[in-house]
Amino acid sequence: MICVNAADTINGQIFTIVHEIAHVWRGASGVSDGPIVHDTESELERWCNAVASETLVPARDLRQQLHRKLTEDTLTGTLDELANRYHCGTLVVLLQLKRIRALALSDFDAAYTSERARLNRLAAQAPPSSGGGNFYANQRYRVGGRLSRAIIADTAEGTTSIAEAMRLTSIKSLSTFDKFAKQMVGA
3-class secondary-structure state, position 141: helix
Rg for the chain, CA atoms, rounded? 23
Amino acid 65: pLDDT: 87
Amino acid 180: pLDDT: 92
Amino acid 12: pLDDT: 83
Amino acid 129: pLDDT: 63
Amino acid 52: pLDDT: 92
Torsion angle of the four alpha carbons 168, 14, 48, 121, in this order, in degrees rounded to the nearest 10 = -120
Let me know: does 170 contact 164? Beta carbons within 8 Å: no
Question: Measured between alpha carbons, how far is residue 164 from residues 135, 155, 172 in Å?
Answer: 20, 9, 11
Tens of pLDDT, residue by residue, the chain (187 residues): 787 877 777 888 889 899 999 999 998 876 654 555 444 578 999 899 889 999 999 999 998 888 766 666 778 888 999 998 998 889 999 989 988 888 877 788 888 999 999 988 988 887 776 666 788 888 887 888 888 889 999 999 999 999 999 998 989 999 999 999 998 887 5
Amino acid 183: pLDDT: 87
pTM of the model: 0.59
- Amino acid symbol at 18: V
Amino acid 108: pLDDT: 87
Task: Report d(CA 133, CA 161) in Å as an integer.
Answer: 29
Q: What percent of the chain is helix, strand and coil (3-state, nearest 5)?
A: 65, 0, 35
